[in-house]
């Protein structure tokens, strides 16, 4: 039986979530601990704070996804934008992993029939498709911030995460050669 639109959608959703996570981790690998916590100005977020926010959001949204509201009562969103004692790079990356583990425990086994279900975020009913799209867009927004900041801090040491400058034609030629 050919894949349904639901199968194709979920396949792409999984690819996008896994890809965004990998992109961030490759970007963060190019900055040192000092840069991880550095802010461009007093109104900006550091890489650390953006990681902390995504982790907190993911844990809240995806933990007990099917049965409880996506905005958990214990979540302290405002604290995700403040460094607290004990916030080290390793502790924040552990939270990051925990958040994504919560996400993948729900999304990876999801089937097309699950897309017809309804969940709640902040008391508002969401189709599962709407909830997934909301999270994909939210995380992509912050992934862009992370890549921008990491590239800024890495400077000339930056290793491209996609097609390097001046290599588009070479990349396109390789893509055309694939079966």
pLDDT in tens, 5-42: 999 999 999 999 999 999 999 999 999 999 999 999 99
Whether the pLDDT of residue 166 is over 90: the answer is no
Q: What is the pLDDT of residues 39-64, one digit of tens each?
A: 999 999 999 999 999 999 999 999 99
pTM above 0.85, yes or no: yes
**What is the domain-level CATH number for residue 125?**
1.20.120.450
- Residues 59, 105, 67: CA angle, nearest 5 degrees: 65
Entry field: residues in the chain: 179
Q: Which domain holds residue 133?
A: 5-177
Q: 145 falls in which pLDDT band (50, 70, 90)?
A: very high
- Per the structure, the count of domains in the chain is 1
């Amino acid at each position: 039986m050919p894949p349904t639109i639901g199968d194709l959608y979920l396949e792409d959703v999984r690819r996008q979530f896994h890809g965004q996570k990998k992109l961030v981790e490759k970007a963060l690998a190019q900055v040192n601990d000092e840069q991880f916590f550095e802010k461009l100005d007093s109104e900006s977020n550091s890489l650390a704070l953006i990681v902390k926010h995504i982790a907190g959001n993911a844990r809240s949204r995806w933990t007990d996804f099917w049965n409880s509201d996506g905005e958990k009562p214990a979540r302290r969103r405002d604290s995700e934008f403040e460094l607290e004692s004990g916030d080290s790079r390793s502790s924040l990356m552990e939270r990051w992993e925990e958040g994504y583990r919560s996400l993948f425990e729900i999304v990876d086994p999801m089937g097309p029939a699950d897309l017809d279900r309804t969940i709640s975020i902040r008391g508002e009913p969401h189709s599962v498709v709407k909830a997934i799209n909301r999270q994909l867009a939210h995380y992509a927004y912050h992934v862009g911030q992370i890549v921008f900041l990491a590239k800024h801090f890495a400077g000339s040491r930056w290793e491209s995460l996609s097609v390097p400058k001046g290599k588009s034609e070479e990349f396109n030629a390789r893509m055309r050669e694939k079966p």
